[in-house]
Amino acid sequence: MLHDLLNALQETLFMVFTAGFFTFMIGLPLGVLLSVTRKGQFLANPFLNKIFGTFINAARSIPYIVFMVALIPLTRLIVGTGEGSIAAIVPLTLAAIPFFARLAETAIAEVPKGLIEAAQSVGASPKQIIYKVLIPEALPGIINGLTVTLVHLVGYSAMAGAIGGGGLGSLAIHKGYHAFQTNYIVATVVILICLVQMIQICGDYIVHGTLKRQ
């Protein structure tokens, strides 16, 4: 049983953190874009903002389970298979991106306008404002958003297990539910709780570190 659990945990960690990585890499630029193209911002572009905003809202309103099934063909195209933990990363990432992008957008929008003006007054370009002002100043909020996203990914990855995604969710369903081994269910739940706690503690610790100077 221990062996099963460790294997499943490893798969879950792999899914969550790989998906988390891609989510961050794609979601952060998207969040920046959404924030700086808002009305009244320094790269205001209502048209672009509306398009991306609508797209993200649409993606966020699809239930994850539907999302996952609907994406199977795309997943096959990208990773060659529709099953297993590698395949699960595609829908996980695509579901988490809009979620994280909105959180990053909010964090960045909270950077006081005066800081942008101060940077503009010394000749900063839009790119420099983003890299030197917006992202560093919004970092605590962005990391908070990433923590929340990773926690969501843990939950989604367990759901992915139900349709052959592997990981702790899969273990609980197959060994625990179908084979009536309650101890598997209890053990996976305990591990999931611990995992979520760990992510939250780490996230809070990092945020605290960046906030200590403020």
Partner 1 sequence: MISLKDVERVYKTSNATVHALKGITLNVKQGEIFGIIGRSGAGKSTLIRCINLLERPTRGSVIVDHCNLTTINKEALRHARRNIGMIFQHFNLLNSRTVYQNVALPLELMGLSKKEISSTVHPLLELTGLTEKANEYPYHLSGGQKQRVAIARALVNKPKILLCDEATSSLDPKTTHSILQLLRDINEKLNLTIVLITHEMEVIKSICTEVAVLHQGEIVEQGSVLALFADPKSDIAKEFVKAATRLEMPIALRRRMRPQPTSTTHPVLRISFMGQSAQEPFIAYVIQHYELTVNIIQAHLETIRDEAIGIMIVEVMGSADNIQNAIAFLESKGLHIEVLGHAPRST
Q: Which residues bind partner 1 (CB under 8 A)?
A: 112, 114-115, 117-125, 128, 132-133, 136-137, 139, 210, 213-214
Shortest Å, Cβ 109 to partner 1: 16
User: Cα(128)–Cα(120) distance, rounded to whole angstroms?
Assistant: 9
Q: Which is nearer to partner 1, 10 or 45 (CB)?
A: 45
User: Exposed, middle or buried by CB within 10 Å (0-12, 13-18, 19+), for 164?
Assistant: middle
Shortest Å, Cβ 115 to partner 1: 5
Shortest Å, Cβ 47 to partner 1: 18
Shortest Å, Cβ 176 to partner 1: 46
Shortest Å, Cβ 210 to partner 1: 7
Q: Which is nearer to partner 1, 38 or 175 (CB)?
A: 38
Asked whether 87 and 79 are in contact (CB, 8 A), the reply is yes
Q: State the distance between the two ends of the chain, measured CA to CA, in whole angstroms.
A: 47
Asked whether 172 and 189 are in contact (CB, 8 A), the reply is yes
User: Cα(195)–Cα(213) distance, rounded to whole angstroms?
Assistant: 29
Which residues are within 8 A (CB) of 11 and not within 5 positions of it... i.e. 6 or more apart? 85, 166, 167, 168, 170
Q: Which is nearer to partner 1, 46 or 136 (CB)?
A: 136
Q: Which is nearer to partner 1, 18 or 128 (CB)?
A: 128
Q: Which is nearer to partner 1, 117 or 204 (CB)?
A: 117
Which residues are within 8 A (CB) of 42 and not within 5 positions of it... i.e. 6 or more apart? 36, 116, 120, 126, 129
Which residues are within 8 A (CB) of 27 and not within 5 positions of it... i.e. 6 or more apart? 96, 97, 98, 99, 100, 101, 104, 149
Shortest Å, Cβ 125 to partner 1: 6
Q: Which is nearer to partner 1, 115 or 198 (CB)?
A: 115
User: Cα(91)–Cα(149) distance, rounded to whole angstroms?
Assistant: 14
